[in-house]
Amino acid sequence: MSSHLPADHPNVMPNKVGVLLLNLGTPDATDYWSMRRYLKEFLSDSRVIEIPKWQWWPILNGIVLTFRPKKSGAAYDTIWDHENGDSPLRIISQRQSDKLAQMLAKNDNVIVDFAMRYGNPSTESKIKALKEQGCDRILLVPLYPQYSASTTATANDKAFDALKKMRWQPAVRTAPAYFEDPAYVNAIASSIEDGLAKLDFEPDLVITSYHGVPKSYLMKGDPYHCQCYKTTRLVREKLGWAEDKLMVTFQSRFGPEEWLQPYTDKTLEALPEKGIKKIAILTPGFSVDCLETLEEIAMEGRDEFLEAGGEKYAYIPCLNDTDDGMKVIESVVRHELSGWID
């Protein structure tokens, strides 16, 4: 009996190449139980919380998952797209996927999709879907410009977990961090210039706020801190600005442990006393606007700065699915697909 399957066998599919854009994730809704499910998956990740499980789990299940879902749900509700019944992150991620598919349309063997590390659409479901559509090669593209074990690595982990369950695995590539990619640096610089051109004031200072991580992660060898500073330096050089015009800060810390400094919130509170009362702020480490940018920076950050005596505050949006933002993603994807597509 021949071991070869006939060409029309249901398991024999035309060879396709999958491109899977990966981002952090979002709850399905803002109610308590939707938030609890999302937070449990997120905060159970040992790459996100590197505290020993025996020590962390009683805190997570006894305290955090009891009280935080309501608070986080209220925060998500302030940025939720109620008209479309979804989060900005998922809506914009879908648009990024659709636009990238159009950009790669001349390669009719390429299928583009997106997935979330936490929540839906899950990474596992999308890898299965790509495989079922005939993709024998898949490029994983974590949309984190700067590498951290708590972001890039955990996104890849989730994909590898799915692959471990598959008898017939596709070949896989993972896109590297693109913190110094010229297309990315140029896009961030352009977003600053465009954002400032729309203002009715000239900022005394522009802040690049990156998501923070515990300082211990840096001490263990995580390159994230250095890559954030390099991105801002390259953007500043591209703009031709003095060193004191563009500042790095780190946001979104929680818990008692020391995180990367300077802290964004503490900086915003301190600047007015130093005579810096007009600022613009952007979040280059986020490829898509989400809770941490729209609520924490655009809303809470504004309140903190103005209450401390600031006068003018402007938030410059993420690259999202803008033309420049899509050029960055296309540049990364085309480079990493080299040899797989023409």
**What are the residue ranges spanned by the domains of the chain?**
16-178+324-336, 182-316
14 — pLDDT class (breaks 50, 70, 90): low
Contact by Cβ (8 Å): 137, 300: no
State which fold the 16-178+324-336 domain adopts: Rossmann fold (3.40.50)
In the CATH scheme, what is the code of domain 182-316?
3.40.50.1400
Q: What is the rounded distance in angstroms from the CA atom of residue 133 to the CA atom of residue 281?
A: 42
Mean pLDDT taken over the chain: 94
4 — pLDDT class (breaks 50, 70, 90): low
How does strand 110-119 pair with strand 135-142? unpaired
Q: Strand ranges (DSSP E) for 128-196? A: 135-142, 171-174
| Range of weakest confidence among 100-104, 106-110, 268-272, 288-292 | 106-110
pLDDT, tens digit (0-9, with 9 covering 90-100), for 149-184: 999 999 999 999 999 999 999 999 999 999 999 999
Which pLDDT score, from 0 to 100, does residue 8 have? 47
pLDDT, tens digit (0-9, with 9 covering 90-100), for 202-246: 999 999 999 999 999 999 999 999 999 999 999 999 999 999 999
Report whether pLDDT(9) > 70: no
56 — pLDDT class (breaks 50, 70, 90): confident
How far is residue 280 CA from its own chain's centroid?
21
Which pLDDT score, from 0 to 100, does residue 250 have? 98
Identical topology for domains 16-178+324-336 and 182-316: yes
Report whether pLDDT(323) > 50: yes
